[in-house]
Chain A
Amino acid sequence: MNWEIVIGLETHAQLSTVSKMFSGASTAFGAAPNTQASAVDIALPGVLPVANKGAVERAIRFGLAVGGTINRRSIFARKNYFYPDLPKGYQISQYELPIVQGGTISILTKTGERSIRLTRAHLEEDAGKSLHEDFQGMSGIDLNRAGTPLLEIVSEPDMRSAEEAVAYAKTLHSLVRWIGICDGNMQEGSFRCDANVSVRRPGASLGTRCEIKNLNSFRFLERAIEFEAKRQIEILEDGGKIAQETRLYDSDKDETRSMRSKEEAHDYRYFPDPDLLPLEVSEEWLNEVRGRLPELPQAKREKYQREYELSAYDANLLTESREKAEYFEATQKFLSGPAPKTVANWVNGELSALLNDRGVDFSRVLVTQEAFARLLDRIRDGTISANAAKGVLQGMANGEGSADEIIAKRGLKQISDTGAIEKIVDDVLAGNAKQVEDYRAGKDKAFNSLVGQVMKATQGKANPAQVNEILKRKLAR
């Protein structure tokens, strides 16, 4: 009998504001410890929080982008617990009335497109950092991160495999960057997931779940879920029971281990923060934010499939980021004639690979859309082969000039003159009687050798399609 894995994700997206959720201190990453902790962040006696409007606006943007409900009135609540990196002894979060409720994220996996429901998204502040390594018998506390604005995005337990969970996380990751609310930097912790994992027999009610904390890469997310599901299945198949608990994923050992049990769970004593008034979102503000929202990836995906007849796979890849989609669309416009499939292939393929190699993304334009369109034009009009174009693209990225300049400089122009190619083919056929004989005797391999000879004679510049066509014609005689 098989098992069904049930996964829900809680994702913390750090909002890309210049200052913190409730103080004016900077949120920039990497400063010397405690240099970006203001009086409010270190919770001096008497200080008070003031909600960051920019963070609230980003939460609204997210809610609109996922089709959720923006609560016109939401409440900040205190989550009380003691820890040295939590200066106030409580975290300001939202509990009973979050700013966003509902919404969906559409994901694409091998099995097709699926919609994952969101429970809610709420605003909260991050804690500081405890540094246990550098101090003997003591811990260091860095409060630079304390108070950083976070949007906690909670999904329903709608995912059924690690693959789906990763697809969801990637789609969400792309969306938060798309709408400009989070830089998505996972190494710096700007986007991290907690996974709630349980297993059950298909059709049975939900099993007991375990929560795996702080997964900060898609690979760890996948590995952790796979390990955890396997662990739970083994326990159940041995007749055991799953204990509800919080677990940590150890990437070195590739396993999850218990952090605290349900019995050890805190009573956070949530209550509305009396220092902050209820968060009110006016109709006017809502409309203003809605008006400034860019076209969303889902809409673009549908448009690409409908108008350009691209596959769901291609459309999905093109909409990985807003910059990439915009690059694709701009290149299209500069092209001498419509060729969406070619552009899609080159943007998703060669150009993406090039940027990846150089450690940049589409937000840094190494090759302008117009220059890139000229290159694609040269492939389409047969001036150069697709193979040669790859080298030209590298040259363009190195700043060696335009496609035409590089083609001329490197002498890459294809020989498409039928007469010239025929003459070379005749010479090759005359000098390779053995291969001609083999080919006519049914040895197909000989044909490739002849093509190779022609290409060699033209230094690779002959139009391969023409070479094939002429060779076949002449050999057929």
Chain B
Amino acid sequence: MLNASLKELSASLAAKRISSVELTRAFLARIGELNGKLNAFITVDADKSLAQARAADGLIAKGAARPLTGIPVAHKDIFVARDWLTTCGSKILSNFVAPYDAHLIERFNGAGAVLLGKTNMDEFAMGSSSESSFYGPVRNPWNPECVPGGSSGGSAAAVAARMAPAATGTDTGGSIRQPAALSGISGLKPTYGLVSRYGMIAFASSLDQGGPLAKSAEDLALLLNVMADYDKRDSTSVERAKEDYTRDLDAPLSGLRVGVPREHFGEGLAPDVGKAVEAALAQLEKLGAKRVPVELPNSSLSVPAYYVIAPAEASSNLSRFDGARYGYRARDYTDLADMYRKTRAEGFGEEVRRRILIGTYVLSHGYYDAYYLKAQRIRRLIANDFTQAFKRCDVVIGPTSPTVAFRIGAKTSDPVQMYLNDIYTIPANLAGLPAASVPCGFGAGGLPVGLHLVGNYFSEAKILNVAHRYQRETDWHAREPAGLKS
């Protein structure tokens, strides 16, 4: 049951083979068993979850169930949920109980899903390893000595270890896709604007996008059906007709043009990852897809541009955490400036402070044009690269991350090495494009490898179709971490 797909769980609930309360208890038990080891959850509240499960059972009994009714879903601790501690992985919000629900939480509540718990993450989603959390590092279920990727590492580890059937995350530079890849699960970052950012604690507003993490592309489609929704409270939310993201899952891939960017197969790509990705491309060709070489000539500029834009926005977005109205406040201070200084120095971790400093610097008088404006121009060039590429192909495919999961602590002292983890994922954020990662094999140390699929704007259904057809032919996504078998 812990291994079942969302479709199977839904069918079992509908047929009353199991109740939502039983299902929720089972996952809570699994969390109880493994969280001490993996640290995937920051907050679990069985009473609250079970109350929702009972309500869901009521709906099911009345015949008012919808596809996710009664199914437990774990949420990244970046989404505020009413009456839940919502920390964003930071000491500065370590006492913050949210008084309202994020749009995404409203959507899941409206669908009758059960909030299973709040997952661990890099502090304020700044990181690629889930090591920067105030609540300690998350461990990779495939090898607890390794990181699960980040920043949505808690969600990825929870799904990989079958502590949750599905989870949500956010992706600013790869924070859904990279942990999905490193943890051997599937993850989707939708087109910017498809999922409302209301109630999603902002890191870099122009890049942040919420999305699902699950065991399969089919599950991602079911989750996206709930998450994608126009929200007038988010000015960047896109108003468009509702879609059923499951509609094209089984469409044949014959004639599909798969763009393979030379730039994502060069220096820096680990051979084991390259090999798994090559095999996946061959598999897609067997399914009728055609390989088309494409170029993303400005790819190499994406990491530097990202590390100007994201910290710039973050430096401003995080100004509200000043100890004045909520959250952590330093105990001893002499005056207002001292209160700000100490609260923020004590409340934010090293990586967050580093990015606030970088962001403040690039926005400063005299540096703005050289950094921020130039980065914005690069951003347009990168988006344009994709526009050109999509004239020749339907989906761009390559590796999600240059290596498999690395050991905890291996990159914490070298931020640039850490930042290069997201070299293949960042361009989709800069361009606002939808992209997914699905498991495509194992590399060194038996650790999972992710296949990265980028589509054109609002082509989520197409990406999920390609991923699902691939998953029909392969079983990488169905593998479970050895030693944690459910």
* Chain A residues within CB distance 8 Å of chain B: 39, 42-51, 78, 80, 82, 84, 87-90, 141, 267, 269-271, 274-277
Contact = CB atoms under 8 A, between A and B. Distances in A.
Contact of B322 (A46, A89, A270): A89
B37 interface: no
Contacts of B390: none
Given A45-B86, A276-B235, A87 B320 contact: yes
Contact of B88 (A43, A45, A275): A45
A44 B326 contact: yes
A269 B363 contact: yes
A78 B363 CA distance: 11
B315 to A, nearest CB: 8
Contacts of B363: 80, 269-271
Contact of A90 (B198, B200, B316, B325): B316
B87 to A, nearest CB: 10
24 contacts: A39-B99, A44-B99, A45-B93, A45-B96, A45-B321, A46-B79, A46-B80, A47-B198, A48-B198, A48-B234, A80-B319, A82-B319, A84-B322, A84-B336, A87-B324, A89-B322, A90-B316, A269-B315, A269-B364, A271-B312, A271-B316, A271-B372, A275-B235, A276-B235
A417 B100 CA distance: 83
Interface stretch (B61-69, B201-209, B218-226): B201-209
Contacts of A270: 363
B17 interface: no
Given A267-B364, A274-B206, A45 B340 contact: no
Nearest to B320: A43
B205 A89 contact: no
Given A46-B199, A271-B368, 8 more contacts: A46-B98, A78-B316, A87-B325, A89-B316, A89-B322, A90-B319, A271-B316, A274-B236
Contacts of B100: 39, 44
Across chains A and B, which 9 residue pairs bring their CB atoms closest together, nearest first?
A: A89-B319, A274-B206, A274-B205, A269-B363, A46-B199, A43-B320, A45-B201, A46-B80, A267-B365
B162 interface: no
Nearest to A83: B336
Interface string B180-210: 0000000000000000011111101110000
Contacts of B313: 274
Contacts of A271: 312, 316, 363, 368, 372
Contacts of A82: 319, 322, 340
Given A87-B320, A275-B205, A277-B235, A46 B200 contact: yes
Contacts of A45: 80, 86, 88, 93, 96, 98, 201, 320-321
Nearest to A24: B233
B102 interface: yes
Size bracket, chain B contacts: 35 or more
B360 A269 contact: yes
B322 A269 contact: no
B325 A46 contact: no
A142 B439 CA distance: 52
Of A46, A271, A274, most buried by chain B (CB within 10 Å of CB) is: A46
Contact of A46 (B201, B312, B318, B372): B201
A80 B316 contact: yes
A50 B235 contact: yes
A48 B316 contact: no
Contacts of B232: 50
Q: Chain B CB within 10 Å — which of A50, A51, A274, A276 has the most? A: A274
B392 to A, nearest CB: 30
B235 A46 contact: no
A269 B93 CA distance: 25
A436 B329 CA distance: 95
A470 B458 CA distance: 97
Contacts of A39: 99-100
SS of B interface (majority): loop
A95 to B, nearest CB: 11
Nearest to B197: A48
A274 B197 CA distance: 12
Interface in B310-361: 312-313, 315-316, 318-322, 324-326, 336, 340, 360
Contacts of A141: 324-325
B235 A51 contact: yes
A49 B319 contact: no
A46 B102 contact: yes
A476 to B, nearest CB: 86
B319 A88 contact: yes
Interface in B236-279: 236
Contacts of A43: 320, 325
A279 B320 CA distance: 24
B241 to A, nearest CB: 20
Nearest to B373: A271
Interface string B43-86: 00000000000000000000000000000000000011000001
Most central of A51, A82, A271 by chain B CB within 10 Å = A271
Nearest to A275: B205
Nearest to A143: B325
Contacts of A276: 235
A48 B233 contact: yes
A364 B89 CA distance: 58
Contacts of B316: 78, 80, 89-90, 269, 271
Nearest to A79: B316
Q: Of residues B201, B321, B322, which shows the largest number of chain A Cβ atoms within 10 Å of its Cβ?
A: B322
Residue from B205, B234, B325, B368 having most chain A Cβ neighbours under 10 A: B325
- Max count, chain B CB within 10 A of own CB: residue among A51, A84, A89: A89
Nearest to A85: B324
Nearest to A45: B201
A123 B277 CA distance: 51
Q: Which of B86, B233, B315, B319 has the most CB of A within 10 A?
A: B319
Nearest to A43: B320
A141 B322 CA distance: 14
Contacts of B197: 46, 48
A271 B98 CA distance: 29
Nearest to B231: A48
Contacts of B372: 271
Contacts of A267: 364-365
Nearest to A40: B233
Contacts of B93: 45
Contacts of B202: 46, 275
Among the interface residues B86, B200, B316, which one has the most CB atoms of the partner chain A within 10 A?
B316
B340 to A, nearest CB: 6
A90 B86 CA distance: 23
Nearest to B90: A45
Contacts of A49: 235
Contacts of A269: 315-316, 360, 363-365, 368
Interface string B402-441: 0000000000000000000000000000000000000000
B235 A42 contact: no
Contacts of A48: 197-198, 233-235
B91 to A, nearest CB: 14
Contacts of B98: 44-46
A276 B205 CA distance: 10
A84 B96 contact: no
Contacts of B200: 46
Nearest to B336: A84
Contacts of A88: 319-320
A189 B315 CA distance: 32
Contacts of B312: 271
Query: A45, A50, A88: which has the most chain B beta carbons within 10 Å?
Result: A45
B236 A275 contact: yes
B80 to A, nearest CB: 5
Contacts of B368: 269, 271
B446 to A, nearest CB: 38
A282 to B, nearest CB: 16
A271 B236 CA distance: 17
Nearest to A139: B336
Contacts of A80: 315-316, 319, 363
